[in-house]
Structure 1
Amino acid sequence: MREHELLGPWLRRFLTEYIVTERNLARNTRSSYRDTFRLLLPFASREVRKPVDRLMVRDLASSLVLKFLAHVEDHRGCSVRTRNQRLAGIKAFARFVGSRDPAHVEWCGCIRAMSSKKSMQPSVGWLTRPEMEAMLAVPDRRTGRGQHEYALLLFLYNTGARVSEATQLKVRDLSLGAQRGGHDLATLHGKGGKIRQCPLWPETERVLAHEIRDREMDAPVFVSRLGTGFTRFGVYRLIERCAAQIPMLAGRAITPHVIRHTTACHLVLAGVDINTIRAWLGHVSISTTNIYAEIDLTLKANAVALCEVGQERPRRSWKEDKDLMAFLRSL
């Protein structure tokens, strides 16, 4: 068996050379591709009855990939969007192999011809201002732990940051200089290595200044009760725990992304233009941000009022319009 027919060497080159060195893809994208094959390889091994290290590229036939995608949905309980994400990782690998070995062009074409499944755009979940204020009131700020949790919740609401952007925030990323004639800013490192700056409210600046006292520049801004940086899982648990203590949020799934949606929706209600909100949230395309222009019934009612058909006005002959006749004679 020739080495270029084995799946292992190709996959190693794809994960360690192509997506890191050649493409320089974001860390989360690399993790997504890695996780796809961590699921796919054991599944393929069981289907073709071969050890993982003896799998061949052609063993990943389109029929097997379809079975794997069905397994992701039916047995793992994943959504259609997750299923399509797994397929995107497999297609990227097929494109890599096909572009470097003509013997696998046909296999590559079969994989890349597979279609993504249509999925419904999930509705935008967000909190009203009283609900968000209730969330901020949950942490007990008389304790150190409550102060840490309040600072994190307030920062998420202020900036609309993704959970990964908040957990990766370092002390050096904060510019707290309003009292010295500057601007209070947080530098966020977003998806794809993109960097953006978000202004901070005076309350956020005060809380964060207290949080980072006596900390090194490379230290995380948000720390848990153990003194270590918050993890993604820790942020999710914190928000779930706070939401569980608010009766008006009973039965609703509140996540860090819901708070991100909340920031965007409140900016829309405040009259901030959609392009500014796009830059605030770090969206590449404004079409992603446009969903927030459709979420509030108040905005829709105002738009309808502007277009409301009123009572028909009595018509008047243009000859009776003295101002119009004077205007015409003056030309």
Structure 2
Amino acid sequence: MSYLSREEMLAVIGKPDDSWLSQRDHTLFLLMYNTGARVSEIIGVKVGDVVLDEGSACVHLRGKGRKQRSVPLWRSTAKTIRAWLKVNPEFQPTSPLFPNRNGHAMTRANVALRLTLATGNAAGTCPSLAKRHVSPHTVRHATAMHLLQAGVDISVIALWLGHESPITTHHYVEADLNMKERALARLHEPQTGIQRYRAPDSLINFLKAL
């Protein structure tokens, strides 16, 4: 299972410049990481699906079978989305939150391409990304793994990702255990043999004198 470390993920999200594309992509990748959304869910988000109220910011996602779930937003994500909406005052509640240059919702291929370009740019400051193929699903995996490693209950992660069954989410547990086993294998196993205890002469003489 391919996923990014937190450092790699933050490098891909990056810091936007003043261009429209850069700000859109930054907001897009941040929301993808925050929510762990499928690419089909993220490109389907409308402006009206985002709630930016202080203390209860969230986004409504439509998953498989048109099932809807709500995912809370970090303060940084909500702040970034507010800034993005200010750049685009013409957006209506029914407008796609992440349009292409023609105003239509981005396609899966478009998101994948922008993510590949962002990964290539991020490799300059994060060399471990140089040979990585990062897809939208890689970001979804990263969200799940980071939640798991932070101690979030697997049933909560299943709800977060929109899994129909927690059994699907168990793949992340198995991947996490495999990763830890590989790390453990790199360590030198300590000697497990129990050495025979030999009492010092002072203790033996004391016991003889009893």
Mapped pair 1:284 → 2:164: yes
Aligned equivalent of 1:293: 173
Q: CA deviation at 1:164?
A: 0.6
Q: Distance in 2 between matches of 1:270 and 1:131?
A: 17
Aligned letter for 2:13? L
Q: Distance in 2 between matches of 1:125 and 1:282?
A: 19
Output the CA distance in 2 between the equivalents of 1:282 and 1:140.
29
2-structure distance, mates of 1:301, 1:254? 22
| Equivalent position of 2:3 in the other structure | 126
Structure 1 Cα separation of the partners of residues 160 and 25 of structure 2: 23
Distance of 2:183 and 2:163 partners within structure 1: 27
Letter in 2 for 1:277: I
Which of these residues, 35, 38, 60, is aligned with residue 159 of structure 1? 35
Cα distance in 1, alignment partners of residues 193 and 147 from structure 2? 35
Name the CA shift for 1:202/1:162 in 2 (closer, same or farther; >3 Å). same
| Displacement after TM superposition at 1:264 (Å) | 0.3
Q: Indicate the residue corresponding to 1:144 in structure 2.
A: 20
Cα separation, partners in 2 of 1:157 and 1:274, compared to 1, 3 Å = same
Q: Which of 123, 126, 133 is residue 253 of structure 1 equivalent to? A: 133
Aligned counterpart in structure 2 of residue 272 of structure 1, from 137, 152, 169: 152
1:236 aligns with 2:109: no
RCO comparison, higher one (Cα < 8 Å, 6+): 2
- Please list every run of 5 or more consecutive structure 2 residues that lacks an aligned counterpart in the other structure: 195-210
The amino acid of 1:229's aligned partner reads A
How many angstroms apart in 2 are the aligned matches of 1:250 and 1:149?
20
Q: What pairs with 1:1-331 in structure 2 (closer than 5 Å)?
A: 124-137=1-14, 140-178=16-54, 182-213=55-86, 214=89, 215-245=91-121, 246=123, 247-296=127-176, 299-300=180-181
Aligned residues: 184
Classify 1:302/1:254 alpha carbon distance in 2 versus 1 (closer, same or farther; 3 Å).
closer
Among all aligned residue pairs of Structure 1 and Structure 2, give the percentage whose two residues are the same amino acid.
37
* Cα distance in structure 1, aligned partners of 2:133 and 2:71: 27
Give the superposition deviation at 1:298: 6.3
Query: What RMSD over aligned residues (CA atoms) do the two structures have, in Å?
Result: 2.6
Relative distance call for 1:170 and 1:295 in structure 2 (3 A) is same
Name the counterpart of 1:51. Answer: none
CA distance in 2, matches of 1:198, 1:280: 7
SS in 2 for 1:295: helix
Question: Distance between the aligned counterparts of 2:108 and 2:81, measured in 1?
Answer: 19
Aligned to 1:65: none
TM-score, normalising length from structure 1?
0.51
Moved more, 162-171 or 246-255: 246-255
- Write the distance in 2 (CA, Å) between the matches of 1:257 and 1:132: 13
Q: Secondary structure of 2:137's match?
A: helix
Where 1:251 maps in the other structure, the secondary structure is coil
CA–CA separation in structure 1 for the residues paired with 2:144 and 2:26:
20
Alpha-carbon distance in structure 2 between the residues aligned to 1:210 and 1:227: 18
* Structure 1 SS opposite 2:163: coil
**2:208 corresponds to:** none
Residue identity in the other structure for 1:230: M
Gaps of 5+ in 1: 1-123, 313-331
Using the TM superposition, give the Cα deviation of residue 300 of structure 1 relative to its aligned residue in structure 2, in angstroms. 4.8
